[in-house]
Amino acid sequence: MKSVLKRIVGTIPVLIGVVLLIFIMLRIIPGNAAAVLLGEHVDQATIDRLTQSMGLNDPVIVQFFKYIGNALQGDLGESYRYSRPVTEMILEAFPYTVELALLAALFAWVLGLAAGVVAAIRQNRLLDRLFMGASLMGVSMPIFMTSLLLQYFLAFRLEWFPLTMEQGSLVSMVLPAIALGWNSAGSVARMTRSSLIEVMQADYIDTARAKGLGRRAVILGHALKNSMLPVITMMALQLSSMLSGAVITESVFAIPGIGRLATTAINNRDMPVLQGTVLFTTVLVIAGNLLADLLYGVLDPRIRKEV
């Protein structure tokens, strides 16, 4: 419990640093949010009045501490563009991102684990080379390219799936989930293979074989369980990255999630929305790292004792 609290307290400087960084970056970019909102044909006096009312004339450090104080109360500001609470907009978009991330994680983990185990069992054979080649392609190919290829062949040419997301349709989330999970599936497959091969060379595996256990019993009962520690840690980190990094996938497939909300905020120079989405995704990444640490401790008692 103490170690968990220590890790949580250690994330506070990271959150503050991220908020400060995004504050500084948004304010050194040329342009004025008030001018963008009012349009081109507006006099300077009107722009100055709106700038003053939005609090953009205050020193950055004053704006920063105001934002931190409000954020601690769950208030991430109000959208310049839509005049709506940012927290409300994020909570509306988050379920779409969660659905996409969970489907992508399910696809990545099932495919990656199965391919990694088969590749390890068939080491240096045809299936091993085939699966590892496919996983290398998955790790190397950018998500936007995977998304566009899936859209072209499976949605446009074969018409098996919708091109973009349709409200209430789970089928329309299949292609985005594959596009987002393909890269992670390749990483899981490669990690599973290397970890399982390493464990299969351990002394206790030879002991299990000497006792007369069959190959399947040795792999499933001993080797696979002990080789999952680094794989499960990677999977926990992948889930947080999927929740926070689905920007390209959501943009390509027109999914109204957190990522698309952030890109729209950038185009509109909607600083409160952009700050809110960055802070929210930072919390998700930190939570994923904390979950991975906790899982590591649960799965390996030696780590619990060290902590």
pLDDT for res 103: 93
Matching residue, tokens 């008030």: 34
Q: What pLDDT shows up at residue 3?
A: 67
Q: In DSSP terms, which residues pair with 78 in a beta bridge? A: 85
User: Are residues 255 and 96 in contact, defined by beta-carbon separation less than 8 angstroms?
Assistant: yes
How far apart (Å, rounded) are the C-alpha atoms in residues 180 and 201? 34
Kindly write down the DSSP assignment for every residue of 74-98, as one continuous string. T---B-TTT-SBHHHHHHHHHHHHH
The number of residues making up the chain comes to: 307
pLDDT of residue 198: 87
Cβ–Cβ < 8 Å for 178, 143: no
Question: What whole-number distance in Å separates Cα of residue 240 and Cα of residue 243?
Answer: 5
Between the two ends of the chain, the Cα-to-Cα distance in Å is 10
| Residue range 118-138, pLDDT digits in tens | 888 888 889 889 988 888 888
227 closest CA partner among 178, 300, 292: 300
pLDDT at 304: 53
Q: Could you tell me which of 165, 179, 181 has the C-alpha nearest to residue 104?
A: 181
Cβ atoms of 184 and 112 within 8 Å: the answer is yes
Rounded Cα distance between 131 and 186, Å, is: 9
What pLDDT does residue 214 have? Answer: 72
Burial of 173 (0-12, 13-18, 19+ CB in 10 A): buried
Q: What is the pLDDT along the chain (307 residues), one digit of tens a residue?
A: 666 677 778 778 888 887 788 777 777 766 666 666 666 667 777 777 777 776 677 777 887 888 888 888 888 888 878 888 999 999 999 999 999 999 999 999 999 999 998 888 888 889 889 988 888 888 888 888 888 899 999 988 888 888 888 776 788 889 999 999 998 999 999 999 998 888 888 877 778 778 777 777 777 777 777 788 788 878 888 888 888 768 888 888 889 899 889 888 888 778 888 888 888 888 888 887 777 777 766 666 655 555 5
What's the angle, vertex CA 250, arms to CA 24 and CA 269, rounded to 5?
30
User: pTM of the prediction?
Assistant: 0.82
How much is the pLDDT for 91? 93
Residue whose tokens read 């704006």 = 63
d(CA 264, CA 227): 42
One-letter amino acid at 264 equals T
Q: What is the DSSP string of 265-292?
A: HHHHT-HHHHHHHHHHHHHHHHHHHHHH
